[in-house]
Amino acid sequence: MSFKTELFINGKYVPSSSGETLSIQSPNDDSLVTDKIQVAGEADVDNAVKAAKAAFPAWKATAGHKRAAIMNKFADLLEKNTDKLAQLESAAMGQPVSVSKRMIAGPIALWRYYAGYAGKVAGESYPPDEDGTYKIVQYEPLGVCAGICAWNGSHVLAAWKMAPAMAAGNTFILKSSEKSPISLAQYGELVNEAGFPPGVINVLTGAGTTGSLLASHMDIAKIAFTGSAAAGRAVQIAAAKSNLKRVTLELGGKSPGIIFEDADIPNAVFHSSDSFLRNSGQICFAASRVLVQESIAPEFIKQVKLAFEHAADAMGDPSLAETKFGPLADKKQFDRVMGFLEDAKKEGIEIGAGGGRKGDKGTYVQPTVLINPGLDSKVYTQEIFGPVISVRTFKDEEEAIKLANDTTYGLGSTVYTSDIARALRVAGQIEAGTVGINSAFNTSPQTPFGGWKSSGYGRESGIEGIKNYTQPKTIHINMTLPAKK
């Protein structure tokens, strides 16, 4: 299958100014996928910013219904090209094609959702009252915006960043992850076919150095970042040291799943296994700290261990339609997860299922269940980002909430109970940006997504998502001047 490997700047595919390239190895069998991915350097970033800056006035002035038509056409093209885009994502980072297709379907809906907002970002007005001043508040686009994607859900993260920016009238520079750049590199052809004017959307590839150039650029008004907490802090610092550009950060989590004794156990097991493992555990809001009430813990642990063992049997070549679970994204991620498992063994933590490598090729890790790790152990406190859950028990609701909130993160959470009053009561006390009740949390175009505490700030998706790409302007009109005769 042929595919684009160049940078997309000002409506054209161009090589990197430095000639630097990235190589992508298959997580399935270690084979070379490509060694021709172009890396954006300083000159390339500057060119993309110049193109976006030049395109901004006309795109801002484009009628809302025309922007909406282009955005809907882009969504149609994503739908038309789903198979190819899914295969390329799978080849780069090992995501099963069946999962990749679902992770493109969501963005298609999101582009259409935000197309509905184009031209509908309303302002406000307030009467003069006693002060004699008529007041207007209007919401305007920020200008040139940028987004940096993580590798675990390229199309979802790209849509969260670009679609609301487009609807609000901004122009954009998207940087894909160096682990999964191939699929997003194809966007240039779709951008042109959809009818976006040159410079409105630009797509770059590169590692942290390219991201740093975007975060520190003086002509970028806002940057949205998804990735690790350490990299997010670096983005925030660079933004502050440059032009104080706006920043949205989504930095991962160590999310709790609370399972009460009146929960539907098969349902809780399914979402703690199949749902958790659907991207090999590489989901930022996945509930990796499973807290189970003591009275049902033995039965739950028995069932979840069996589910993880069955999941291991369902792991395989991610390019095959029947594959449910695939490898980790690359060798670096594989080594990281295996390092956590080695630490768990050294600490004497009970391994209920898995705990090692699967196969002799690729980056496959056995789905692993850790039983009652210490509250201060690395596997319990740090984000593993792999197919590993930790199971601990609790006595009552008060202890469950305490354990759930005992983390520096605050992105996702889940609650399993047949008592809806308790579900809502507990949800109200969990320190996290999202809560799923009786299900693993699923994102929606209509609702905001983001975290508390070290999981970042700002929101993507929903009406909050488009607010992050506008700025208010207040206009006061003195209504007390007498008319000239």
pLDDT tens for 309-323 read 999 999 999 999 999
pLDDT > 90? residue 484 = no
The pLDDT assigned to 479 comes to 95
The pLDDT assigned to 405 comes to 98
Please count the other Cβ atoms lying within 10 Å of the Cβ belonging to residue 339. 12
| Long-range contacts (CB closer than 8 Å, 24 or more residues apart) made by 296-301 | 296/259, 296/261, 296/263, 296/265, 297/391, 297/393, 299/265, 300/259, 300/265, 300/268, 300/269, 300/391, 301/352, 301/369, 301/371, 301/391
Per-domain residue ranges of the chain: 7-251+455-474, 256-437
Average pLDDT over the chain reads 97
At 330, the pLDDT band (50, 70, 90 cuts) reads very high
The pLDDT assigned to 121 comes to 95
Averaged pLDDT, 396-421: 98
CA distances to 93, 301, 391 from 273, rounded to whole Å, are: 21, 11, 12
At 470, the pLDDT band (50, 70, 90 cuts) reads very high
Averaged pLDDT, 447-458: 96
CATH architecture entry for 256-437:
3-Layer(aba) Sandwich (3.40)
Averaged pLDDT, 305-334: 96
At 175, the pLDDT band (50, 70, 90 cuts) reads very high
The pLDDT assigned to 448 comes to 97
Give me the DSSP letters along 195-248.
TPPTTSEEEEE-SHHHHHHHHT-TT--EEEEES-HHHHHHHHHHHHHTT--EEE
The pLDDT assigned to 1 comes to 80
The pLDDT assigned to 268 comes to 98
pLDDT > 90? residue 54 = yes
At 195, the pLDDT band (50, 70, 90 cuts) reads very high
**Residue-wise pLDDT tens digits, 335-357:** 999 999 999 999 999 999 999 99
Catalytic option among 250, 322, 383, 464 = 250
> pTM of the predicted model, to two decimals?
0.96
Nearest C-alpha neighbor of 397 from the set 422, 375, 372: 422
The pLDDT assigned to 392 comes to 98
**Residue-wise pLDDT tens digits, 257-303:** 999 999 999 999 999 999 999 999 999 999 999 999 999 999 999 99
pLDDT > 90? residue 422 = yes
Query: Does residue 294 carry a catalytic annotation?
Result: no
At 483, the pLDDT band (50, 70, 90 cuts) reads confident
Please count the other Cβ atoms lying within 10 Å of the Cβ belonging to residue 355. 20
- Report phi then psi at 282, rounded to 5: -90, 60
209: left (phi over 0), alpha (psi -120 to 50) or beta: alpha
Q: Say if domain 7-251+455-474 classifies as CATH 3.40.605.10.
A: yes
Q: Which residue has the tokens 């590692």?
A: 207
Judged on CB neighbours under 10 Å (0-12, 13-18, 19+), 217 is buried
Range list of β-strands (E), 398-469: 414-416, 436-437, 456-457
**Residue-wise pLDDT tens digits, 68-125:** 999 999 999 999 999 999 999 999 999 999 999 999 999 999 999 999 999 999 999 9
